[in-house]
Amino acid sequence: MVVPERLRRVSEKAYTPQVVSIGPLHHGKEGLKAMEDHKKRYLQDYIRRTRVSLADYVQKVKDQEAKLRSCYAETIQDVWPDMRLLENQLPFFILEELFDPDKIEVSSDNNNIERLSILNLCHNFFKNLMHIEGTDGNMEKLCASKVEHFVDFCRNLHLPLPLKPHAKGRLKL
DSSP sequence for 105-144: -EE-TTS-EE---HHHHHHHHHHHHTT--S-HHHHHH--G
d(CA 131, CA 126): 8
Please, are residues 163 and 136 in contact by the beta-carbon 8 Å criterion? no
Q: What is the pLDDT of residue 134?
A: 77
The model carries a pTM of: 0.52
**In a 3-state reduction of DSSP, which class is residue 165?**
strand
Task: Say if residue 45's pLDDT is above 60.
Answer: yes
CA angle 93, 96, 97 (to 5 degrees): 90
Q: At what angle do helices 150-158 and 118-129 cross, to 10 degrees?
A: 70
pLDDT band at 62 (very low <50, low <70, confident <90, very high): very high
Give per-residue pLDDT as tens, 69-102.
887 766 666 677 778 788 788 888 888 887 777 7
Q: What's the confidence (pLDDT) of residue 124?
A: 83
- Say what the pLDDT of residue 54 is: 92
pLDDT tens-digit profile of 96-147?
Answer: 887 777 766 666 667 776 667 888 888 888 887 777 777 777 777 777 668 8
Q: Which pLDDT score is estimated for 165?
A: 67
